[in-house]
Amino acid sequence: MTSLLRFPPNELEELLVSLEAPRYRADQVLRALYQGGCDSIDALIQLPRDLRERMKTAGLTVQLPVILREVVSDDGDTTKALLSLPSGPTVETVLMQYPRSGRGPRSTVCVSTQAGCAMGCVFCATGQMGFERNIPAEDVVAQVLHFQRLLALRGEHVTNVVFMGMGEPLANYEETLRAVRQLTDPRAFDLAQRAITVSTVGIPRAIDRLATENLQVGLAISLHAPDDALRRRLVPTARPNSIAELLDSGRRYFRTSGRRVSIEYALVGGVNDAPRHAQELGKLLRGSGMHVNLIPLNPTAGPFVAPSRRGVREFRRILTEAGVNATVRIEKGSEIAAACGQLRTDVDAASGRGSAAFPSPS
């Protein structure tokens, strides 16, 4: 079975032509999928019944995730869904909303591109799961559509997508790219390219490849340390000279795409949050034009702790005085384990027993 969500408009046209349907039927299908909330071939009532039957016979389907559990933050701005994907794996996907004056909220969906992760970041719940499998593009798109349907009931819509959920997007390059193109195609989901950010813990060759794709998506590089020795403690899969390689690839990405690169830096108390670390990071990034997102560590089951608020302010001050633009990320949903580094899916779906990532409502 193959989901219709896998096909970009041009491929969908050719597919329907092969089923003896006129090309204009593709636009009807696309509108039903991305604007109409269609959840099955039979729901495509715009199409003749015989065409729908040919589509089913050809193994086509509209497969949507099954919701295993959904939790909402105390302020109502963050929703985390545990989804069983049609391709088999279970992932967590998050909707984060930020109020905007005079208009609807900015609604960002954080999607997962892998079940688990092979990068092994020691402070990240997903990294400690290990790697299970890559997620196909149609299931990445389906994660966005899951929340789009929820928002449509409120008269709202998805405004941004960040590839910052479970997994390393650039280690699943082809499917990540296909999902980006589906989400930004004017005839499909029609999201602005600049409303998408791809985050990577570091695959320089894939960053260089992404720069050639003629896209305007944002790039976020998860650095987490100012020197290679410390970085390899935090990211065991990092190469010996990964920092120089990543910063060089980030500069090339900016030169090719014109899009500013962000540096993600998780502040781990007593590990990488000292003033000397900020000074070293400032020297590395001075004059690069890169923006630093400082992310105070979110609680996980591991032994690491968050930095003090005073230490976070001091870290940012040192960077700013070094001429590096830095902000402290406002984390959403940490109390429901929906924030950066907290996504995990050790859930026995058959029994309905949840993991620590899904605390019981009080």
- Please give the positions annotated as active site: 92, 340
CA torsion, ordered 150, 330, 217, 36, to nearest 10 deg: 10
Q: Answer for the pair 66, 9: CB distance below 8 angstroms, yes or no.
A: no
User: Edge-to-edge, what's the strand order for the sheet holding 66-72?
Assistant: 66-72, 78-84, 90-100, 103-110, 160-163, 196-200, 218-222, 261-267, 291-296, 326-328
Q: Answer for the pair 342, 298: CB distance below 8 angstroms, yes or no.
A: yes
Compute the distance between CA of residue 170 and CA of residue 219 in angstroms, rounded to an integer.
11
Cα 40 from chain centroid (whole Å): 26
